[in-house]
């Protein structure tokens, strides 16, 4: 049986899935690792922990199904976007991996927006100006950690680091490059103006390659540990976002992919690079002739986790004792509350926000609280607020690519029937949930198959996604949401003027709050 392995380097875990060439899962493994958040805006990971996770998951899946190297066709990669690692001349890390969620470059991203340079760069790179981007992070490092910045010989991402250790090659695919803010999406090369703004040169960055690029000659030490022969090809793959579109079969014109995992996104595929006149949407490469346009949100399932941990701690403890999923308990509670949560609105900006408002200082809020509202209303409002925010992203995409024809949804939220129905009701669209396992891993596997000439057409994924769940919008519910959405939008616009003020206050007293927090 011929198989291919898809590996996804995620923000909090690395996954490997073995698929046969029909897309059926043969084995899978996951290894988690911590996110370091030692200050208010920090979000870093240890690159060597992630490398160790890659070796572990590959070793586990090879042993689970006892794959022979004659059966293994290749290993293909997906990775989270916007990470930055500084390396010295010996290619040893000088920093941890600074992730997309790190907001310490907020001031410098704001300066780029205000002086007009940011919009100029966006129109070339397709990457919205935000502290998430390596471009903004490099400016921050140069100003606030100059000794570290000038000591660095290379500036790379997490996938580049993994592949350099495995193969001794420093390469970056066009997809992840197009999420750096340093890559010109029209000529597929590092952009001179962006490099000058970051005060670096192209020799300090990885070699650019297409998403189907193959690496050969796996380091013998890692070949021995994993059981993967040195001559098995590794395919560089792409970013997790664009591969998720592929993995849920959202690559045809007019088909939207909506993802709610820890964070979230709304994306669609177009046949050429395009940018938004107001700089609100990204445009990232998938393969030649396929570009993914969309908007990412910071606040997806991580908000639901906050609700669980901070508002439903007793239920969480009970669930642990009973060995049941706390989230199932919470969605059952929320399901007893009518659509619209009796007028309680929630803006889910607990970690700043990217799309649709692109404001790292944004903060969350409940609006409309009365004595009649309960914790059940609050959890329902939180879930609705996450989807309202994604709906606004969809409206921006609609202006560029037209009315969506279909919605394919994926992510951890898909386990909740209530949340799936909420998406259909708020978007007023039929929502299809493919049951494909780990969409980014499957997308990577399909790119691998394309590279290895095991297929000539990405549409092979249609046969691989498996069964689907379909949710039709409920007219009684979407009538309620039609009334509430304009209020939700206006409230958010009213609060926007104070986001900077409250964020500055929180940063000013952050250390004091930490010292006084109960232990």
The string of pLDDT tens digits covering residues 4-16 is: 999 999 988 999 9
Domain co-membership, 181 together with 313: no
Domain co-membership, 133 together with 90: yes
Q: What six digits make up the tokens of 206? A: 């990885």
* Cα separation values, 33 from 176, 303, 365, Å: 22, 20, 30
State how far the Cα of 259 lies from the Cα of 473, in Å rounded to an integer.
Answer: 18
Query: Is 385 domain-assigned?
Result: yes
Q: Is the pLDDT of residue 60 over 90?
A: yes
CATH number of the domain that residue 129 is part of: 3.30.420.40
Instruction: Please say whether the beta carbons of 197 and 129 come within 8 A.
Output: no
Higher pLDDT, 45 or 467: 45
State how far the Cα of 83 lies from the Cα of 159, in Å rounded to an integer.
Answer: 9
Domain co-membership, 236 together with 116: yes
**pLDDT tens-digit map of 138-163:** 999 999 999 999 999 999 999 999 99
pLDDT for 40 = 82
pLDDT for 436 = 73
Domain co-membership, 102 together with 147: yes
Domain co-membership, 386 together with 313: yes
Name the DSSP class of 311: I
Tokens 């066009």, residue located:
174
Q: Kindly report the average pLDDT of the chain as a whole number.
A: 95
Give how many domains the chain has, as a whole number.
2
pLDDT for 269 = 95
Q: Show the domain range for 338.
A: 261-406+416-431+474-508
pLDDT for 519 = 45
- Alpha helices per DSSP H over 336-465: 375-401, 417-427, 439-451
Phi, psi for 381 (deg, rounded to 5): -60, -35
Domain co-membership, 362 together with 496: yes
- 3-state DSSP percent of the chain in helix, strand and coil, to 5: 45, 20, 35
Domain co-membership, 187 together with 277: no
> In this prediction, what percent of the chain has a pLDDT beyond 70?
98
**pLDDT tens-digit map of 222-277:** 999 999 999 999 999 999 999 999 999 999 989 999 999 888 999 999 999 999 99
pLDDT for 69 = 85
**pLDDT tens-digit map of 157-197:** 999 999 999 999 999 999 999 999 999 999 999 999 999 99
**pLDDT tens-digit map of 277-318:** 999 999 999 999 999 999 999 999 999 999 999 999 999 999
**pLDDT tens-digit map of 400-438:** 888 898 999 988 888 899 999 999 999 999 999 987 768
């Amino acid at each position: 049986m011929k198989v291919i392995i898809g590996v996804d380097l995620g923000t909090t875990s690395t996954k490997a899935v073995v698929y046969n060439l029909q897309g059926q899962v043969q084995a899978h493994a996951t290894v988690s690792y911590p996110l370091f958040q030692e200050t208010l805006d920090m979000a870093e990971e240890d690159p060597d922990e992630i490398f160790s996770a890659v070796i572990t998951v590959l070793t586990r899946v090879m042993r689970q199904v006892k794959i022979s190297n004659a059966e293994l066709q290749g290993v293909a990669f997906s990775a989270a976007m916007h990470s930055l690692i500084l390396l010295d001349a010996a290619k040893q890390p000088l920093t941890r991996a600074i992730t997309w969620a790190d907001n310490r470059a907020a001031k410098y991203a704001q300066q780029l927006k205000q002086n007009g340079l940011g919009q100029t760069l966006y129109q070339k790179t397709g990457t919205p100006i935000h502290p998430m981007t390596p471009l903004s992070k490099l400016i921050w490092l140069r100003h606030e950690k100059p000794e570290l910045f000038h000591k660095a010989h290379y500036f790379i991402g997490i996938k580049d680091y993994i592949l350099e250790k495995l193969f001794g090659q420093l390469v970056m695919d066009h997809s992840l490059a197009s999420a750096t803010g340093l890559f010109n999406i029209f000529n597929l090369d590092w952009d001179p103006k962006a490099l000058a703004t970051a005060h670096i040169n192209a020799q300090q960055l990885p070699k650019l390659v297409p998403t189907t690029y193959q690496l050969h000659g796996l380091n013998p030490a890692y070949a021995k540990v994993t059981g993967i022969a040195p001559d098995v090809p590794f395919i560089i793959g792409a970013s997790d976002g664009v591969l998720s579109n592929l993995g849920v079969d959202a690559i045809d014109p007019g088909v939207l992919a909506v993802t709610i995992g820890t964070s979230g996104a709304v994306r669609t595929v177009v046949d050429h690079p395009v940018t938004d006149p107001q700089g609100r949407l990204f445009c990232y490469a998938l393969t030649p002739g396929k570009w993914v346009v969309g908007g990412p949100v910071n606040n997806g399932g991580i908000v639901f986790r906050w609700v669980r941990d901070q508002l439903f701690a007793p239920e969480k403890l009970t669930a642990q004792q009973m060995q049941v999923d706390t989230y199932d308990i919470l969605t059952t509670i929320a399901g007893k509350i009518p659509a619209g949560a009796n007028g309680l609105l929630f803006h889910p900006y607990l970690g700043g926000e990217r799309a649709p408002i692109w404001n790292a200082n944004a903060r969350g809020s409940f609006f409309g609280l009365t004595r009649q509202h309960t914790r059940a209303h609050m959890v329902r409002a939180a879930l609705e607020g996450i989807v309202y925010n994604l709906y606004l992203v969809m409206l921006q995409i609609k202006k560029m690519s037209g009315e969506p024809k279909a919605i394919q949804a994926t992510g951890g939220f898909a386990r909740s029937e209530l949340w799936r129905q909420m998406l259909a009701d708020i978007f007023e669209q039929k929502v299809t949930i493919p049951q494909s396992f780990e969409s980014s891993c499957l997308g990577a596997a399909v790119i691998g198959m394309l590279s290895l000439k095991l297929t000539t057409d990405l549409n092979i994924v249609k046969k691989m996604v498996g069964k689907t769940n379909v949710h039709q919008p409920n007219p009684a519910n979407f009538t309620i949401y039609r009334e509430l959405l304009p209020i939700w939008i206006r409230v958010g616009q009213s609060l926007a003027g104070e986001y900077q003020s409250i964020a500055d206050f929180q940063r000013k007293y952050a250390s004091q709050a930490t010292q006084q927090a109960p232990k």
